[in-house]
Structure 1
Amino acid sequence: MGLRKHTTSCGDRMWRNLVVLVFILLLGACSETTFLAHATKELQDRMGSNGAKAQGIYKVGNPYEINGIWYYPKVEYDYVDKGIASWYGPKFHKRKTANGEIFDMNAVSAAHRTLPMPSLVRVTNLNSGRAINVRINDRGPFAHGRIIDLSRRAAQLLGFEVAGTAPVRVEILPEESRQLALRAKELNFAGHRTEPKKPDSAPTVSVTSSKLPPPDGAKAAKPPSKDFKVLPAAGRREKVARSQSVIAQVDGKVTYRRIEKMPQIFVQAGSFSQFQNAHKVRAVLKQLGPTKITQIDIDKRPLFRVRIGPLDNVDAADQILANVIKAGFPEAETVVD
């Protein structure tokens, strides 16, 4: 009886120990699963939901056609333009941009039709004077009457998220854009570089040496003494300086520029080298609104622009632009003076 009672007690203790061990293993597996889930999410956030690397490539691109209009991307470090800006966000959030980056609507970036990617531009809201530096990493906008499509965060900083659009001045920052291009090209090269194949080991050979007498008529130099030392050349050491370019950053800092006059919005049907042609276009379009011909000189040659306006707001300009396009001028655009 005593022996049976002792055996039962040992069995109970073994059973309890086994239950505790299983519980610890399950708890550890649960913790590991949680850790893996968090690690996977962090990896996806860094690389994008489709696993693609967030680091984009340097890209200018070939000419392309959208809705019957051709666009010609090019390197243009003197680019300055005025027009209407819009913004994009949730529909494209965490999707790839045209140069392979992952679009983040909460970061400061923008889409442009022709500038290299990446580039850095200064965007100024001409209604308020608010200005920020913006990274170009996507193509667009492809809606008529827009010159740049900003991320939601950029629109917030410029103060037109609610309005949806604003007249802006876009100016490329040439030195900063060159730095971005150089950095992107270096990363592209590093990403595609492969390690060279190691050569086979060279065959080993045995080498012997022997002291030879000097040739006839030659005098052998005396060996240096034990105290002989080679001293460095006297004088100041020259320091070799390596210039390191500072890569431009988009910090979201808002500055203010003085606005000399409030912007005026026009719809421009086209520019013509012959006044007669401009006059004919004006005759067709004058029923749509106040239409006038203005002259500018490009390389000492006159150009005659046909414009409707000034218009009250962006909505009015969009309506007039749509009518001008329907009238047979597909390359008409909204401009800001």
Structure 2
Amino acid sequence: MRMLRYCSLLALVAALAACSSVPGGGPVSQTKGEYKVGNPYKVAGKVYVPKADPHYVAEGMASWYGPKFHGRKTANGETFNMNALTAAHTTLPMPSYVRVTNLENGRNLILKVNDRGPFVGDRLIDVSRRSAQLLGFEKQGVTRVRVEAVPGPNARPATVFARNTPAPATSPVEQKKAPIVVASARPAPVFTPEPAKKDEVVVQPLEAEPDSPATASENIYVQIGAFSDKLRAKMVADDIRHVGQTLLELVDINGQKLYRVRIGPLPSKARADETLGRALAWGHNTARIVLD
């Protein structure tokens, strides 16, 4: 009987430990940031009350922040990267995910909230510089947006990506999908990524985008990612192929074989921008324009 009670106690302790492995039951950040909702706080005389709201929807002004804060710690302990798709909000949990739609042009992105702010006037959200570029308001500095809570980084896109981009006649599921082209390895690119762990995405640094059209000596691609697992790469390629001709390549980088998923080659910078926007809106937040 004493042994039975001891085993029951061990089982209870193990169960409690398992329940507490993800604070608040929220999403786990891919970096070392802390998940937090936070207590009420005051900035410049105004009180903010953080709370989790899965149905959050609001419209207001968005601004962006970049070089001055690049490399600094965010409010939940992550390192701010102005080239990542992130945002600062005054009350939403960190990390959490939102769809930000630029109401001036219809473009939308899914961003990770990992910082607090903005604390200027009646601004609703601060986004990273890269997010502002893709949403189309980097030069003007501010724009009117709609912010909607979404369950995660792979939430499906809104119906419209850009007002000046013709909407497809059918939904993505009903569209005729472009083929996936499986190619042999090409020479390794000039960048040197760290060795990937299993199922880890290797993202190339954003390279300079050429003027439209591309020159004869270089091709423009939208790279979705590179994976050590072939099945995962095929799943990603299948998920994105409605956007354009998808290339699945086996490449050798520093002696490690990776399966690279790209869309292209694309005929112009404008087409690459449009394709990148569609890939990002579909939830592939590691997508980048690359030259080869």
Both structures adopt the same fold (TM-score exceeding 0.5): no
Q: Which has the higher strand share?
A: 2
Q: What TM-score do the two structures reach when normalised by structure 1?
A: 0.37
Q: What TM-score do the two structures reach when normalised by structure 2?
A: 0.43
Q: Which has the higher helix share?
A: 1
Choose 1 or 2 for highest CA Rg: 1
